[in-house]
């Protein structure tokens, strides 16, 4: 069993690190800053003042600007008094800090900071002088003196900070590669960023900043393997406690919680960090992410609106803000946020949210054009992505009230699968759902053509054969034919939901309401599909159980309009069955 420095099992120690080390300075509070008593303040900027870090300038020999910029950011972000704006966390600020290095060919280097304020003279703030090779130590001292000169309280200045070369890296190549990777992330080039971050890791395998951003890129990916790797990397980095600054420790803890889907822990983490470091936007961001994942969009929205103003260059803030606005049925607001995010996020990540935003904005003609354009893109034809968009088109026409267009697109969807035998198993549920919607729309001719086409393929995969049996049974119900053979086939299989649904449809044709309700109840208990639940709500209403029917209808609506990013296909625009369920349970 791996053990920590304190002798605790790592499994027991990790939760403490996640909630404590990220919020408190990871150094012994008795260890004092090595530069003596803080110098007197030149001016006292209020707590929470945003300090924008400008690119470093230099004179004399060449300044390693990329490396210096990363180290300087890490040094300054250890302040709990100021909100430091730099890189993806840049934003509007009334106060900007210019770092300058005088690097003569011979003799000591002098590093200085100057405060720049609009409409006021530049104010020299602090200086640090020492050997040219001691870049990290000089930046540590300069950051400390700058914070003191600008009015940070003495309590924050007495404890020794983590050296910026320890908190980032003493390896120049690691810092350069990591900073380049962060630049790629800002441009939405995630794959390129991952490559650079993995290269940086080869130079310093314990660099907290490198490990943080590598884990963060993986935690946002949809596959379980990527999220598992993200959790493993974040856990490893958290173990290097002596190298963690408060903000990096917090971000690692956040990434770990995101990767393991611990929403309650994520919320606790954000609230704790906000209490300890109220002026650091990362606490608000962590809380906002937790509220989004808990589907508390009303609580997330004001946090995200605030962060949008503070971090206008952060695309994930805009992305999350779009969903929070969608939850309030603000399609236009969601489109605006996605437009801002789209400049820095991969286009494929924006397809679904943009379609949802267009729908909720009532821009139906624009949505039709958008979906048609997706199908026409190079590399989409014949792929699963094309079929997914095709089903979205059918869903949209159902929601827009164009029954004929919906039937045409549903027929095209079924034919798309028929022409691709290798897709039968993967598309089993989609075929069953689309065929059922055709049956409910009364499109018996189109459904019969589709069923005959599938039967003409010869031997079918077992689950797909059951789906075709189910659809054939629905046709028999509509013709008033005997469905006992289809029911017997489905009863022998493991597809009990289709058996119950077909049984319910047969009882419905005969007007046997009680038996229909019993069959739908069994189907609803065995399946979470919105269409089954909507059917059960209809039967309850017909039986006069209005309150219970309304409860089921409300449950369906809440599911379909939850905007849960981990269940993106729940929205009625995503599949025809959900569209029909939405229409069936929607209040006028």
| Residue pLDDT, tens place only, 296-321 | 999 999 999 999 999 998 999 999 99
Give the per-residue pLDDT at 31.
52
Give the per-residue pLDDT at 23.
41
Give the per-residue pLDDT at 11.
38
**Sign of the C-alpha dihedral, residues 257, 567, 225, 220?**
negative
Angstrom distance (rounded) from CA 245 to CA 70: 14
Angstrom distance (rounded) from CA 374 to CA 342: 16
Least confident of 288-297, 326-335, 485-494: 485-494
Residue 243 confidence class, pLDDT cut points 50, 70, 90: very high
Of 116, 145, 161, which residue sits at a domain end? Answer: 161
Angstrom distance (rounded) from CA 495 to CA 500: 9
Nearest C-alpha neighbor of 409 from the set 389, 382, 429: 389
Give the per-residue pLDDT at 7.
32
Mean pLDDT score, 554-582? 95
The count of other CB atoms within 10 Å of the CB of residue 135 is 24
Q: What is the pLDDT of residues 169-206, one digit of tens each?
A: 999 999 999 999 999 998 889 999 999 999 999 999 99
Tokens standing for residue 559: 């599911």
Report yes or no: 197 and 226 within 8 Å, Cβ to Cβ. no
Domain assignment present for residue 312? The answer is no
Count of alpha carbons within 13 angstroms of residue 63, beta-carbon side: 18
Of 161, 179, 208, which residue sits at a domain end? Answer: 161
Question: Which DSSP helix (H) or strand (E) runs through 351?
Answer: helix 351-360
Domain assignment present for residue 45? The answer is no
Angstrom distance (rounded) from CA 447 to CA 475: 8
Give the per-residue pLDDT at 188.
85
Mean pLDDT score, 510-537? 93
Domain assignment present for residue 470? The answer is yes
**Residue carrying the six token digits 């004399």:** 60
Report yes or no: 531 and 577 within 8 Å, Cβ to Cβ. yes
Give the per-residue pLDDT at 37.
83
Strand partners, 110: 102, 129
- Under DSSP, is residue 131 helix (H, G, I), strand (E, B) or coil? coil
Domain assignment present for residue 419? The answer is yes
Beta strands 83-85 and 50-53 are parallel
Count of alpha carbons within 13 angstroms of residue 409, beta-carbon side: 24
pLDDT above 90 coverage of the chain, percent: 81
Mean pLDDT score, 15-25? 43
Domain assignment present for residue 121? The answer is yes
Angstrom distance (rounded) from CA 41 to CA 158: 15
**Sign of the C-alpha dihedral, residues 34, 40, 44, 45?**
negative
Beta strands 83-85 and 123-130 are unpaired
Mean pLDDT of the chain: 92
Domain assignment present for residue 360? The answer is no
Residue 445 confidence class, pLDDT cut points 50, 70, 90: very high
User: How many domains does the chain divide into?
Assistant: 2
Give the per-residue pLDDT at 32.
63
Angstrom distance (rounded) from CA 227 to CA 457: 40
Q: Which residue has the higher pLDDT, 567 or 7?
A: 567
Report yes or no: 520 and 532 within 8 Å, Cβ to Cβ. yes
What is the four-CA torsion angle of 67, 68, 69, 70, rounded to 10 degrees?
60
- Under DSSP, is residue 386 helix (H, G, I), strand (E, B) or coil? helix
Domain assignment present for residue 75? The answer is yes
Tokens standing for residue 184: 């790629």
Residue 61 confidence class, pLDDT cut points 50, 70, 90: low
Report yes or no: 35 and 144 within 8 Å, Cβ to Cβ. yes
Angstrom distance (rounded) from CA 329 to CA 336: 13
Q: Cα–chain-centroid distance for residue 162? A: 31
Give me the CATH number covering residue 75: 3.30.160.100
Give me the CATH number covering residue 534: 1.25.40
Angstrom distance (rounded) from CA 339 to CA 278: 30
Inter-CA distances, 326 with 352, 449, 475, 559, 581, Å: 12, 39, 38, 14, 20
Strand partners, 98: 114
Tokens standing for residue 64: 């390693």
Q: What is the pLDDT of residues 83-128, one digit of tens each?
A: 999 988 999 999 999 999 999 888 899 999 999 999 999 999 999 9
Angstrom distance (rounded) from CA 319 to CA 315: 6
Q: What is the pLDDT of residues 362-393, one digit of tens each?
A: 999 999 999 999 999 998 988 999 999 999 99
- Residue 90: give the domain boundaries: 50-161
| Strand stretches in 187-277, DSSP E | none
Domain assignment present for residue 224? The answer is no
Report yes or no: 96 and 51 within 8 Å, Cβ to Cβ. yes
Q: SS3 string of 498-548? A: HHHHHHHHHHHHHCCHHHHHHHHHHHHHHCCCHHHHHHHHHHHHHCCCHHH
- pLDDT over 80 (residue 156): yes
Q: Which residues have C-beta within 8 Å of that of residue 93, sequence separation ≥ 6?
A: 50, 51, 52, 85
Give the per-residue pLDDT at 4.
35
DSSP alpha helix (H) spans, 379-529 = 384-400, 403-418, 428-440, 444-455, 462-479, 484-492, 496-510, 513-526
Of 161, 180, 212, which residue sits at a domain end? Answer: 161
- Under DSSP, is residue 45 helix (H, G, I), strand (E, B) or coil? coil
Give the per-residue pLDDT at 527.
80
Judged on CB neighbours under 10 Å (0-12, 13-18, 19+), 518 is middle
- pLDDT over 70 (residue 12): no
Give the per-residue pLDDT at 344.
84
Give the per-residue pLDDT at 569.
86
- pLDDT over 70 (residue 9): no
pTM value? 0.89
């Amino acid at each position: 069993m791996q053990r920590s420095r304190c002798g605790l099992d790592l499994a027991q120690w990790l939760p403490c690190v996640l909630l404590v080390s990220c919020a408190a300075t990871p150094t012994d509070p008795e260890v004092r800053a090595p530069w003596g008593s803080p110098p007197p303040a030149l001016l006292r900027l209020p707590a929470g003042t945003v300090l924008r870090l400008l690119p470093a300038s230099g004179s004399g020999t060449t300044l390693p600007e990329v490396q210096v910029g990363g180290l300087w950011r890490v040094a300054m972000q250890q302040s709990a008094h100021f909100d430091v704006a730099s890189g993806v966390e840049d934003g509007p600020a009334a106060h900007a800090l210019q770092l300058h290095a005088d690097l003569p060919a011979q003799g000591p280097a002098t590093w200085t900071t100057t405060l720049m304020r609009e409409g006021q003279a530049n104010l020299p703030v602090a200086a640090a002088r020492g050997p040219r090779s001691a870049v990290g130590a000089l930046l540590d001292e300069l950051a400390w003196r700058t914070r003191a000169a600008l009015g940070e309280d003495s309590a924050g200045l007495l404890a020794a900070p983590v050296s910026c070369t320890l908190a980032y890296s003493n390896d120049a190549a690691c810092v350069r590669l990591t900073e380049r990777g962060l630049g790629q992330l800002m441009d939405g080039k995630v794959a390129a960023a991952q490559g650079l971050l993995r290269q940086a890791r080869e130079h310093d395998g314990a660099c907290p900043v490198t490990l943080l951003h590598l884990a963060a890129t993986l935690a946002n990916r949809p596959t379980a393997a990527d999220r598992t790797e993200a959790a493993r990397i974040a856990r490893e980095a958290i173990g290097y406690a002596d190298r963690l600054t408060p903000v990096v420790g917090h971000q690692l803890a956040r990434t770990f919680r995101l990767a393991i889907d611990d929403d309650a822990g994520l919320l606790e983490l954000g609230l704790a960090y906000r209490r300890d470091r109220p002026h650091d936007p990362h606490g608000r961001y962590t809380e906002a992410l937790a509220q989004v994942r808990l589907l508390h969009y009303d609580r997330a929205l004001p946090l995200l609106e605030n962060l949008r103003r503070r971090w206008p260059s952060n695309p994930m803030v805009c992305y999350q803000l779009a969903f929070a606005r969608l939850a309030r049925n603000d399609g236009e607001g969601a489109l605006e946020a996605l437009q801002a995010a789209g400049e820095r996020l991969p286009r494929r990540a924006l397809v679904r949210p943009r379609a949802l935003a267009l729908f909720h904005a009532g821009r139906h003609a624009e949505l039709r054009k958008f979906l048609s354009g997706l199908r026409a893109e190079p590399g989409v034809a014949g792929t699963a992505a094309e079929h997914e968009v095709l089903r979205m088109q059918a869903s949209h026409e159902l929601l827009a009230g164009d029954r004929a267009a919906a039937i045409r697109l549903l027929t095209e969807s079924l034919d798309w699968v028929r022409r691709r035998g290798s897709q039968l198993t993967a598309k089993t549920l989609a075929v069953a759902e689309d065929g059922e919607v055709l049956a409910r729309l009364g499109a018996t001719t189109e459904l019969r053509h589709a069923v005959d086409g599938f039967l003409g393929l010869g031997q079918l995969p077992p689950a797909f054969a059951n789906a075709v049996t189910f659809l054939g049974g629905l046709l028999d119900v509509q013709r008033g034919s005997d469905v006992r053979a289809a029911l017997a086939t489905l009863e022998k299989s493991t597809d009990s939901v289709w058996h119950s649904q077909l049984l319910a449809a047969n009882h419905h044709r005969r007007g046997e309401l009680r038996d229909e309700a019993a069959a739908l109840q069994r189907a609803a208990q065995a399946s979470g599909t919105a269409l089954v639940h909507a059917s059960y709500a209809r039967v309850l209403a017909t039986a006069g159980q209005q309150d219970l029917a309304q409860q089921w209808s409300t449950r369906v609506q809440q599911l379909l309009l939850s905007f849960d990013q981990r269940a993106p296909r729940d929205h009625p625009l995503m599949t025809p069955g959900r569209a029909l369920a939405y229409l069936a349970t929607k209040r006028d």
